[in-house]
Chains A and B, each alone.
Chain A
Amino acid sequence: MSAVPTTSPLQARRRFAGRFGDLVLHGITLAGALSCVVLVGAIVWKILALSRDSFDRFGLSFVTAQDWDPVKHVFGALPFIYGTVVSSLVALVLATPLAIAIGLYLSELAPRGVRGVVGSLVELLAAIPSVVLGLWGILVLGPFLAHHVEPWLHRTLGFIPLFGDPQQTGQGLFTAAVILTIMIVPIVASISRELFLGVPRELEHGALALGATRWEMVRGVILPATRSGIAAAVILGLGRAVGEAIAVTQVIGGGTRIGWSLFPPADTLASKIASNYQGAGSGLETSSLLYLAAILLALGLIANLVAQIIVRRFDPLRGARP
């Protein structure tokens, strides 16, 4: 044994094993990550491929056609787009101020001990399965709205066409909107709270030191600083409301009516698909349901991407947060 060789066979083997191990781990993790990409691609491709028959038959006028008649083989999406837009918008109008107020309470007002408890309870509200919320909606909330809230709204605000004659069953667009509100408030509230907590303390203290009241500080500092983030949170909530199928199917009643009043039964894109789960009559009907799913997919993707772009590009606090 004169000179120690620079690399012994053992070392060489270990080095090779190490490099090999690195490559293998890199490879399989990359495969995992790519499978997510492939999955999203497959979802888009498969849904577009299966809606093809309906698309070839009806083209883009499917979106504006009002009839859904499996017997005559005529299908159109307008009533469901109407139901989706109205239920989601009403839910958003109800939920946004509530959620922002809850976010402000949790970040600025709540005493230390209460903060964690109320925050967790709000998050638990988001954890309730939608089918349970729907069951509650159909058997408890619906009848309550039909017998108390809707008649009252009709009596006091009946001159606005939105509040037409109340329904007997409590199944309808309005009940669906209230259920959706309950579902999206905790989501938007949780994100808002995080945003508000991310506003630099110095800015808040500065405003207070200048003599602003707490509300003036919120309006002058917190809300402007988090505006884009709130917008993103609201859009995420909207995406959730648009895509919710189960709870809405349970409470919305089903129907193809288009009109001003919020109370009668209707259908959303998602609830129309869900209520056909026991199978469609013809190939064309199945394909038309897939066409509805494609519209829903497009809406979901747009809402999601817009929210992400806002969060990543225009949130001035993003970099400042720890």
Chain B
Amino acid sequence: MSRYRRRRLVNRTMEALATVAALLAVVVLAIVVVSVARRGGGAISWDLFTKPQALFGQPGGGIANALVGTALLVLLATAMAVPVGVLTAVYLTEFAPRRLALGIQVVLDVLAGLPTIVIGIFVYALLVIGHVQSGFAGAFALAIIMLPLVARATQEVLMLVPGTLREASLALGVRRWRTVVGIILPSSVGGILTGTVLAVARAAGETAPLLFTSSIFANTVQTDVTKALPNIPVLIFTYSEQPDPALHEQAWAAALVLMAFVLIASLAAKAFFYRSRKKLTG
């Protein structure tokens, strides 16, 4: 009996510990979100979204230039990463011989696992040394980070397309390319969009790839991609390293905006993903 009670006690303890661990993760998330919201909430104002950064040492100003820059950078990166990512996924699921598919898969996983600062310094070496920092270089670095995410998400949804659909199309004598373009891609468009949104959410918050490629920028709204584009992550990073509390407040506000965007985009993408997967798998 006492042996049984000890076993039950151990079981109870372990269950309690596991529950506490899960609770701890949720509490940490809550603490981070609440402290960013509380510190950043106070600085959220109309000016924050409409005025560019103040000149160094002057009070006031907003983050309008960084918002515009981040939007441009992410847009450009998406335009570069999504086509290549989708093509790669189509090749892997529709055309590639097994062994080659495995090899390319390994390469994609390696790309996804590379430290982002390494990608940043690669683009710095490729496009910035000997030239100047530019929005294009920054977007290229972000695109490298988005590429494996888009490819992976597309691949997953392509594999969910029922084999019967594929076979039915081929049995009707439809050519392979028309099957892919006319049947398979349209039925997986939801999944591709989800993957893209997740990749955008990730790219919008990435700092490391931009540090060496688009970090020394003007205080004004900038839309010329051949010059360094102001952006939110680098703004938060540089402000957080400054001792000035006024800059900290702006950093908190920018962090709140960024975090809200990233969290909402991730949640929406996930909800959308479950819906479109249900539609595909029935």
Contacts and interface: CB of A to CB of B under 8 A. Distances in A.
Answer whether A and B are interacting partners.
yes
Report which residue of A42, A49, A101, A277 has the largest number of chain B beta carbons within 10 angstroms of its beta carbon.
A277
Contacts of A130: 205, 207-208
A129 B233 contact: yes
Interface residues of A, number: 90
Interface string B142-164: 00100110010000000000000
A218 B10 CA distance: 12
B75 interface: no
Contact of A33 (B92, B236, B248): B92
A213 B207 contact: no
A92 interface: no
Given A214-B15, A278-B216, A132 B22 contact: no
Interface residues of B, number: 89
Given A101-B22, A139-B240, A215-B11, A129 B205 contact: yes
A10 interface: no
A246 B28 CA distance: 19
Interface in A79-129: 97-98, 101-102, 104-106, 108-110, 118, 120-125, 127-129
Interface in B108-164: 108-111, 113-119, 121-122, 125-126, 129, 144, 147-148, 151
Given A40-B110, A46-B125, A243 B115 contact: yes
A239 B110 CA distance: 11
B94 to A, nearest CB: 7
A22 B22 contact: no
A290 B246 CA distance: 35
Contact of B207 (A104, A139, A218, A246): A246
A244 B115 contact: yes
B25 A213 contact: no
A214 to B, nearest CB: 6
Interface stretch (B46-54, B57-65, B186-194, B261-269): B261-269
Contacts of B114: 40, 43, 243, 297, 300-301, 304
A153 interface: no
Interface string A187-227: 00100000000000000000000000111101000000000
Given A125-B29, A129-B207, A250 B118 contact: no
B144 A39 contact: yes
Given A47-B121, A131-B207, A105 B28 contact: no
Contacts of A25: 90, 176-177, 180-181
B165 to A, nearest CB: 17
B117 A274 contact: yes
A131 B233 contact: yes
Given A134-B237, A289-B121, A305 B110 contact: yes
B113 A239 contact: yes
Contact of B177 (A22, A214, A218): A22
Nearest to A303: B113
A31 B90 CA distance: 11
Contact of A37 (B21, B86, B104, B233): B104
Interface in B67-124: 83-88, 90-92, 94-96, 104, 106-111, 113-119, 121-122
Contact of B22 (A102, A245, A296): A102
Contacts of A40: 107, 110-111, 114
B275 to A, nearest CB: 14
Contact of B25 (A102, A135, A214, A273): A102
A250 B84 CA distance: 34
A18 interface: yes
B176 A101 contact: no
Contacts of B84: 32, 35-36
A43 B122 contact: yes
A136 interface: yes
Interface string A253-293: 00000000000000000100110011000000000011001
A11 to B, nearest CB: 11
Nearest to B261: A129
B121 A131 contact: no
A274 B263 contact: no
B252 interface: yes
A157 interface: no
23 contacts: A22-B176, A26-B177, A32-B85, A36-B84, A37-B104, A40-B111, A97-B21, A98-B25, A101-B20, A101-B22, A102-B22, A124-B267, A132-B32, A132-B205, A136-B255, A139-B248, A239-B113, A250-B241, A270-B208, A277-B211, A277-B215, A278-B215, A290-B121
8 pairs of A and B residues whose beta carbons are closest in the complex: A243-B115, A129-B205, A32-B87, A29-B91, A101-B21, A245-B117, A213-B11, A18-B175
